[in-house]
Amino acid sequence: MLYFVSAQLAIGYWLFALLSAIGALQWVAARYRLGGLALFDLGRHRSRGYRLAAVLVLGSTAAFFASQWDPIFAPGPAGSELAVLFSASALCALLVTLLGAPLLRSARRAAPRAELLSEAGPLVPVGHAQGRLLEPVVGEAVAPVGQPGPAVCLVPGGVDSELAMAVLARRLTEDGMVCLLIHPDPSAYAFPAALAILPAAASLLAKRPDVDPNRIAAVGDGAGGDLTIRSASTSKEVKTLVAVAPILREPPVGLGLLRELSYSEALRWSRDRGRAELVGGLEASSYSSRIPPRPGLLLYGSEDHLADKAARAELGGSLEVRTLPGLGHRNLAGHPDVMKIISDWLKEHL
């Protein structure tokens, strides 16, 4: 049986070990850039992680010794009791960190609003998939009034990506482009059926009287970027393509995912067999060299830990690769700098 001698001392030690363990995790998060463990803004203020760690470890130590000085030097819990208390503290520290990090991150950064999608309009059939059509903003058209204009098919990689792409689509409509935002339905995104999405989208856009069939572009994000590259290797309908952070090769499941994702996102990512099979089946890096000569742009964030860096080196063909400093994988397509680059690229090449 465990005998803790003094409840006050045991609780005091548990708190001391808990705060120290949270501090240790913050040091690790700062040192190894594990954003999923960071209770601070890792992207902007990495050094704050070290300071937070020092404050938690030293502060909790000082508080424990100051409040429990006399009981500490009297007979107290034995080694087995201390081991139990420390294990409980470490487990709680891990829970606090894994749950607290995404909450603080969402409080710091406003994520794209889910209502953006419903504002974008109802889903329309695009082959076996579905998508939302976004009309160009009147008066801002790139094409002369009354003439067919450019159109863009946006292929997101998943639910989060769909929201980022909705932000991008809204921006592109302001440039006078018709946008078709594909809905990343898991059943439609299965390989090889997903290969039919882009041709179907291009066909749907080409039939519109306000779209010039020779001015259709494809923009893909994440796994959608892989799909865009692979589809562009066979389709002739797309005049230019932009792939934002295509994954190319699945990253290994493990703690490394916390560099980019929160714990719950990492768990979802690791269990998403559909995406893993899609990316594996698409083999975007090897198919990139088969894309017929046409302007193509690949965008990556320098802090992207989900897209495979080694596979990027294998990319062939005429694709231009740009790396944006300080940006990661998630919501890259919705970042203002990235949206400007895509917008400028499409204006130039469509």
Contact positions vs other proteins (CB under 8 A) = 13, 16-17, 20-21, 24-25, 27-28, 31-32, 34, 37, 57, 61, 64-65, 72-77, 79, 82, 86, 90, 94, 252-258, 263, 266-267, 270
Q: Are 261 and 331 in contact (CB under 8 A)?
A: no
Between 93 and 153, whose beta carbon lies closer to other proteins? 93
CB of 48 to other proteins, least distance (A): 18
Between 20 and 228, whose beta carbon lies closer to other proteins? 20
The encoded tokens of residue 225 equal 């970027």
Between 14 and 191, whose beta carbon lies closer to other proteins? 14
CB of 254 to other proteins, least distance (A): 4
CB of 206 to other proteins, least distance (A): 43
CB of 86 to other proteins, least distance (A): 6
CB of 106 to other proteins, least distance (A): 19
Side-chain half-sphere exposure of 272, counting CA atoms within 13 A: 23
Q: Which residues contact 321 (CB under 8 A, 6 or more apart)?
A: 298, 300, 312, 315
Between 55 and 321, whose beta carbon lies closer to other proteins? 55
Between 144 and 254, whose beta carbon lies closer to other proteins? 254
Kindly report the backbone phi and psi dihedral angles of residue 168, in degrees, each rounded to the nearest multiple of 5, phi listed first.
Answer: -65, -45
Q: Are 335 and 327 in contact (CB under 8 A)?
A: yes
Q: Are 326 and 262 in contact (CB under 8 A)?
A: no
Quote the CA–CA distance of 322 and 300 in Å, as a whole number: 6
**CA 309, 311, 314 angle in degrees (round to 5)?**
125
Consecutive H or E run containing 107: helix 79-108
Taking the mean position of all CA atoms in its chain, how far away is CA 166?
Answer: 14
Between 75 and 293, whose beta carbon lies closer to other proteins? 75
Between 130 and 270, whose beta carbon lies closer to other proteins? 270
The encoded tokens of residue 61 equal 């130590």
CB of 268 to other proteins, least distance (A): 10
Q: Which of 168, 224, 138, 178 is nearest to 340 (CA)?
A: 168
